Amino acid sequence: MDLVNGSQEAPQESLDTDMESFFETAPPLRDGLDISRKLGEFIELNSPPTGERIVCVTSGGTTVPLEQRCVRYIDNFSSGHRGAASTEYFLKAGYAVIFLHRRGTCQPYCRSLPEDSLLECFELTEESSVQGVFNVKCDIEKHLNSHLSQAVEQGLLLKLPFTTIFEYLQILRMVATSMKSLGSRGMFYLAAAVSDFYVPWESMVEHKIQSASGPLDMRLAQVPKMLSMLRKEWAPMAFCISFKLETDSNILLKKADMALRKYKMHMVVANELLSRKEEVTVVTSSGRITVRRDKNEADADVENPLIKLLEERHSTYIQESNTTN
Ligand code: PAZ
C-alpha cells in the first residue's frame, strides 16, 4: 500500500477545494432527511426557554472503505469508552447531548455491562436458579431504564450512528450547521478517532479487490481538515474541544499545542494510548492542566473531573461572549 504522507501544509484555497470535493463526491447519507428532522426537533426542544446547553460528543473510530461494495476497510482505534463516559457526565452536568458514535462501540450507561453475550452471563450452575438469572436481568433492565431510556425519552440524548469517514463528516457538518444558532451555548467535544487518509469514492474500485493480481498498490488522499471549517463556518461561536492521541509521549504536548493554534480550538485534550484512562492533559492558550482519575475511589473515571473542568470553562466562555456581544 502506497501511503502518501504529504507533510507540507496545503494553502487555504486548496483546503477549501478539497473539502468541497470531499462532500460532492461522498456517497449521500441514506437517512439524511431523518437525521436532519431529528436534529431540528432536538435542538428546538433543548433551546431556551426549555433547554440551555447542547454538546455534540463524537465517539469511536471512522472506517475508510477500500471498495465501494465494501469487504475491506482501514479502521482507527477507539473503543468509544471516552465518548460514552463523557456523555454520562455531560448529562449529569445538565447538558443535552448529541452522541455521534461509531456503530457497535461503547454506549452511555452500558459501559459496565459484560462484553460477552448476555446469554453467557445467564449460564445456570447448580447453585444458581432461574429466579437468580431473572433477578440479574431485572437489575440490568432497571439500570438501563433508569438512565439511558430516561435521557432519550426526556429528549436529552440524541444518538446518531456512523461507520465510515464519509458518514461521519457529513453528519458532523449537519450537526454543526444546525447548532450554529445556539452560539456560545453549543459545545463540540471531538473524541472520535478520525482517519487522516481515505480513498476518494470516485477513485475506489466497485468490487472486492482480487489478490490474484499481486501486491496491493493503493494511493490514499488526505482527509480535508474539518476542524478549521467547524470553527470558521459551520458553528463559529461554539466552544470547541478536540482530542490529540499519540503513542509517543515525547511529541504529544507539542502536537496538542500545534492543534490548538492551527485549528483555533478552545481546548485540546492530549492523551497517550496506554495511560488514556488514568490521565489527560488539557492544553489551553493560558496553560496546561493535568486531569487524573481519583484512584482512591472505586470505578472512578478520568472523564468525571474532565467534564467538570470543561463545564466551568464553558460557563466562563458563555459569560464572556454575552458581555462582548
Ligand atoms: O475510545 P477510547 O476510550 O478507547 O479512546 C479514546 C481516544 C483515545 C480515541 C480519544 O481520547 C482520542 O484521543 N480521540 C482522538 C484521537 C485522534 O487523535 O485522532
Is the residue at 90 inside a domain?
yes
Calpha distance 303→90 (Å, rounded)? 10
**47: exposed, middle or buried (Cβ count in 10 Å: 0-12, 13-18, 19+):** middle
pLDDT surpassing 60 at residue 149: yes
Q: Is residue 20 part of a domain?
A: no
* Cα→Cα distances 3→117, 248, 258, Å: 38, 21, 23
pLDDT in tens, 139-148: 666 666 678 7
| Number of residues written out for the chain | 325
Question: Does the reported pTM lie above 0.80?
Answer: yes
Residue 92's domain spans which residues? 28-111+119-195+225-247
- 54-97 pLDDT tens trace: 999 999 999 999 999 999 999 999 999 999 999 999 999 999 99
Which residue lies with its CA nearest to atom 5 of ligand 1? 78
Cα(280) to centroid(ligand 1), Å: 11
CATH number at residue 63: 3.40.50.10300
Residue 314 lies in a domain: no
The per-residue pLDDT for 9 is 57
The answer to whether the complex's ipTM is over 0.90 is yes
Residue nearest to ligand 1 atom 11, measured at CA: 191
Q: What is the pLDDT of residue 104?
A: 95
193 lines ligand 1 (CB under 6 A): yes
**Is 97 part of a structural domain of the chain?**
yes
Q: What pLDDT score does 153 carry?
A: 82
Q: Residue 291 pairs with which residues in a beta bridge?
A: 280
Mean pLDDT of the chain, nearest integer: 90
Grid cell listed for 257: 499545542
Q: Looking at the domain assignment, is residue 261 inside a domain?
A: no
pLDDT score of 117: 57
Q: Is residue 49 part of a domain?
A: yes
Say yes or no: CB of residue 281 within 6 Å of ligand 1.
Answer: no
Distance CA 217, CA 237 (A): 43
Distance between CA 168 and CA 138 in Å, rounded?
35
Q: Is the CB of 310 within 6 Å of ligand 1?
A: no
101 in contact with ligand 1, CB cutoff 6 A: no
Question: What gap in Å lies between CA 60 and CA 103, rounded to an integer?
Answer: 8
CA of 276 to the centre of ligand 1 (A): 8
Total domain count, the chain: 1
SS3 label, residue 100 = strand
Instruction: Tell me which of 245, 248, 279, 283 to substitute to probe ligand 1's pocket, judged by most ligand atoms within 8 Å of the beta carbon.
Output: 245
Q: How far apart are CA 97 and CA 58, in angstroms?
A: 10
Confirm whether 298 is domain-assigned.
no
Q: What is the C-alpha to C-alpha distance for residues 291 and 304, in angstroms, rounded to an integer? A: 10
Does 230 reside within a domain? yes
- Is the Cβ atom of 194 under 6 angstroms away from ligand 1? yes
244 lines ligand 1 (CB under 6 A): yes
Mention every residue, 6+ apart, whose C-beta is less than 8 A from residue 183. Answer: 237, 238, 321
191 lines ligand 1 (CB under 6 A): yes
